[in-house]
């Protein structure tokens, strides 16, 4: 029996643009994703003496269906891909067993902190952590490119978490460019009690013409993000009107508290605020921790947000 403990951090979409629909029916995205210090903790135990089987337990949140947990999907895709690879590559460790479908039992214990239906990638981060543990345990059978493709087949946000930090993510999320880190920016995050349906948000976006996307301006902005002569927050805020989330307006229509949270956060001295992903979490950036901490107290004591979760965090 081998046991591994790993941290699965949340992410924010610092901005998110929808570029259209790909031939496979998925949406083409253009987004800078940022890892933050809010995190789940995962313990993965491999029982080689037991054949097959999968057990998962969630601690801290009871709104996750174990049968639909992305960690289960990550395990299934990893083993399926490894069995396929073993059938054509005898150098894969224990290839004979994999070809016979003799998989070891996997037990996962998730201590959940990242809220569900928030746009913060909790399930995707957990899945990526599971893939990384299995990749290490079974002797790194997949190349980086193969693991990346395996990850996107689990979920669109999963490949980002194989890299972390600050990344430009395109296409379905698997086309990733690592950027100079935007670490250390103080954050405040408000998660309304109601979540947002990602498919409904995309259907709403598809019902209207896509907003303009100026490729040259975005390319210039991405170059400026890599200019480390300026502080992370200063580099990011140079994006100005480019820093939009195309999924924000349909999410606000479904969950008006998103707009209320954004307005309240900006009123506390935040220099920037935006919804992440398809919501419903809203984040705000602050120039310093003192202003952020004061804002945290204001929001926590505001009756309008009594049903919301509020997190003080930072970029990493």
Q: Tell me which residues are annotated as active site.
A: 11, 157
User: What is the C-alpha to C-alpha distance for residues 226 and 232, in angstroms, rounded to an integer?
Assistant: 9
Query: What letter does residue 245 receive in the DSSP assignment?
Result: B
Strand pairing of 104-111 and 54-59? parallel
**CA dihedral in degrees (39, 43, 44, 49; nearest 10)?**
180
Strand partners, 4: 44
**Residue that has been written with the tokens 């992370």 in this structure:** 232
| 122-137 and 70-88 helices, crossing angle to 10° | 30
Distances (CA, A) of 265 to 107, 115, 219, 229, 235: 40, 19, 29, 29, 21
Nearest Cα residue to 240 out of 265, 214, 279, 269: 214
Alpha-helix runs per DSSP H in 227-283: 232-237, 248-254, 257-267
Cα 222-224-226 angle, rounded to 5 deg: 80
Please give the helix or strand (H or E) that residue 20 lies within, else none: strand 2-21
**CA dihedral in degrees (89, 93, 99, 102; nearest 10)?**
-170
Return the number of other C-beta atoms located less than 10 Å from residue 168's C-beta. Answer: 18
Q: Are 106 and 54 in contact (CB under 8 A)?
A: yes
């Amino acid at each position: 029996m081998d046991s591994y403990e790993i941290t699965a951090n949340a992410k924010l979409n610092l901005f998110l643009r929808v570029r259209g629909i790909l031939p496979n029916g998925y949406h083409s995205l253009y987004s800078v994703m940022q890892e933050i210090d809010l995190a789940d903790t995962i313990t993965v135990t491999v029982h080689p003496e037991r054949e097959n089987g999968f057990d998962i337990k969630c601690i801290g949140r009871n709104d996750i269906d174990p049968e639909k947990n992305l960690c289960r999907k990550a395990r299934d895709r990893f083993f399926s891909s490894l069995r396929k690879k073993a059938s054509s590559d005898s150098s894969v460790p224990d290839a004979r067993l994999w070809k016979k479908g003799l998989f070891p039992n996997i037990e996962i214990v998730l201590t959940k902190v990242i809220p569900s239906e928030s746009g913060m990638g909790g399930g995707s981060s957990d899945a990526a952590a599971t893939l990384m543990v299995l990749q290490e345990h079974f002797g790194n059978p997949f190349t980086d490119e193969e693991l990346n493709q395996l990850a996107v087949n689990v979920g669109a946000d999963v490949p980002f978490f194989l890299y972390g930090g600050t990344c430009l993510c395109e296409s379905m999320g698997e086309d990733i460019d690592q950027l100079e880190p935007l670490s250390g920016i103080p954050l405040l995050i408000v998660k309304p009690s109601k979540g947002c349906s990602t498919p409904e948000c995309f259907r709403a976006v598809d019902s209207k013409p896509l907003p303009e996307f100026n490729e040259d301006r975005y390319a210039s902005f991405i170059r400026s993000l890599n200019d480390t002569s300026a502080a992370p927050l200063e580099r990011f805020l140079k994006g100005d009107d480019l820093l939009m989330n195309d999924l924000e307006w349909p999410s606000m229509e479904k969950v008006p508290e998103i707009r209320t949270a954004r307005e309240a956060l900006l009123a506390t001295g935040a220099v920037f605020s935006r919804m992440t992903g398809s919501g419903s979490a809203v984040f705000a950036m602050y120039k310093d921790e003192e202003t952020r901490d004061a804002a945290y107290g204001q929001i926590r004591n505001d009756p309008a947000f009594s049903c919301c979760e509020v997190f003080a965090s930072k970029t990493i």
